[in-house]
């Protein structure tokens, strides 16, 4: 499987195989290897963890929608990465699965910004006592 930012060169190398170029850095993809099953160059597995260029480009895409990355959605809950070691789950208020959201913390609970519970202000009226 090719990385979404990789494309094959139109010219083959000396052995007749087509190398991969990275569209982010406009150069040869640094994470490719010769695969003898398909007789061509192939991207390494787990590029999202290995390739710095891929990670930065993906970060730009989810940062357009919000500060925190949505890892996945399961049974109506969004699993959101707060940092490398912490992820939280919040009910999904959207019809789709966003790639990023903004999160608000209220009294040790996390909510998606704009969908947090609103605090109702109570109005007090003066009551006159008649004696």
**CA 76 to chain centroid:** 17
Q: What is the pTM of this model?
A: 0.50
Q: How far apart are CA 9 and CA 77, in angstroms?
A: 42
Q: What pLDDT does 131 receive?
A: 62
List CB contacts of 81: < 8 A, sequence separation 6 or more. 68, 69, 70, 71, 87
- Taking the domains of the chain in order of start, what are their residue ranges? 6-56, 65-112
Residue 114, phi-psi category: left (phi > 0), alpha (psi -120 to 50), beta (remainder):
left
- Could you tell me the sign of the dihedral formed by the alpha carbons of 30, 34, 37, 38, in that order? positive
The answer to whether the CB of 69 falls within 8 A of the CB of 33 is no
Express each pLDDT in 51-85 by its tens digit: 888 777 777 666 666 788 888 899 999 999 888 78
Express each pLDDT in 24-59 by its tens digit: 888 888 888 888 888 888 888 887 778 888 777 777
């Amino acid at each position: 499987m090719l990385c979404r930012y990789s494309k094959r060169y139109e010219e083959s190398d000396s052995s007749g195989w087509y190398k991969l170029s990275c569209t982010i850095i406009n150069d040869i993809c640094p994470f490719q290897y010769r695969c003898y099953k398909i007789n061509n160059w192939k991207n390494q597995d787990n590029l999202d963890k290995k390739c710095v260029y891929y990670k930065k480009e993906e970060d730009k895409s989810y940062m357009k929608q919000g500060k925190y990355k949505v890892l996945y959605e399961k049974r109506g809950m969004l699993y959101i990465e707060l940092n490398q070691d912490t992820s939280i789950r919040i009910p999904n208020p959207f019809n789709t699965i966003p790639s990023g959201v903004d999160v608000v913390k209220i009294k040790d609970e996390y909510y998606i910004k704009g969908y947090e519970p609103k605090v109702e202000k109570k109005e007090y009226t003066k009551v006159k006592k008649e004696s």
